[in-house]
Structures are given as C-alpha cells and as structure tokens.
Amino acid sequence: MLPNFLLPEIVARKDGAGTEMELAAGAGRPVLLTLGITNSIEQESLDVAIHGSADGQAWTDKPLLTFPQKFYCGTYTLLLDLSGHPEVRYLRVQWKMSRWGRGEPTPLFGFYLFAQHTEMAACAVA
C-alpha cells in the first residue's frame, strides 16, 4: 500500500534486491519514486531499477524504470507510469554497485526508496 518505503534506508556493500510491495487498489496508477542517497564513498556508482510482477513471484526481466546511474548523495525523483502495465500488482527494487580506484574495493552506499501515488497532469501539445 502506498505511500510507503519500497526500500527503507539501508547501508549496502553489495548488489541486492528489496522485498516486494503490493500496489493493491493503486495498480495501473502513476507512482512517484524518490531515491535518497544518504551515504557514499568516492569512486563508486549505484544503479537502481524497479521491476514489476503480477503475482509477487515472477518478475519482469526488463526493469519498468531505471534511475540514471548515481555517484553522489542527494535526493532524486522519477515518475513510474503504470498505466501501460495494468497487470503489475507488485513492485520491487534491485540495485547494483561498483567501485574503482585505490583503497577498499568494496562499495558502500546508504540509500532508501520511497513510493507514493500521484496524479499525472495532462499536457496539451499545440
């Protein structure tokens, strides 16, 4: 049920995936996703993707939405339009990390992902 954390704040050192979140009556509606990165170290990147499922078991091979690759702390927002995916009843976040350069080779990111329903504004094109 939204609004809620799709991923509560964590500190991760390797690739992973969150637990599924049921959309319930909000299936097919636009979802505003806010990625907050609260901790990072230099020379690393974070890739965050959102996958969907009709049953909470079988997940889309291709992400429904992917955030642009991130390197720094900050708050980033994207709109996930589910109107073209009425079968999607569950969402799940997956992430991949990489680190390069000198020092500790293991990446470290603190981050969260918040989801809430929103209404898309209709735009007229002249």
How many Cα atoms within 13 Å fall on the side-chain side of residue 74? 9
pLDDT score recorded for residue 119: 73
Q: Is the predicted pLDDT of residue 2 greater than 80, yes or no? A: no
Domains along the chain?
A: 4-117 (2.60.120)
Mean pLDDT of all residues in 1-30 = 91
Alpha-carbon dihedral sign for residues 35, 23, 26, 124? positive
pLDDT score recorded for residue 124: 46
The pLDDT tens digits for 57-78 are 999 999 999 999 999 999 999 9
The pLDDT tens digits for 37-55 are 999 999 999 999 999 999 9
Average pLDDT of the residues of the chain = 91
Q: Could you give the CA distance from residue 120 to residue 81 in angstroms, rounded to a whole number?
A: 8
Q: Could you give the CA distance from residue 12 to residue 40 in angstroms, rounded to a whole number?
A: 10
97 bridge partner residues? 46
End-to-end CA distance of the chain: 37
Overall pTM > 0.85: yes
Cβ–Cβ < 8 Å for 22, 111: no
Q: Could you give the CA distance from residue 100 to residue 113 in angstroms, rounded to a whole number?
A: 25
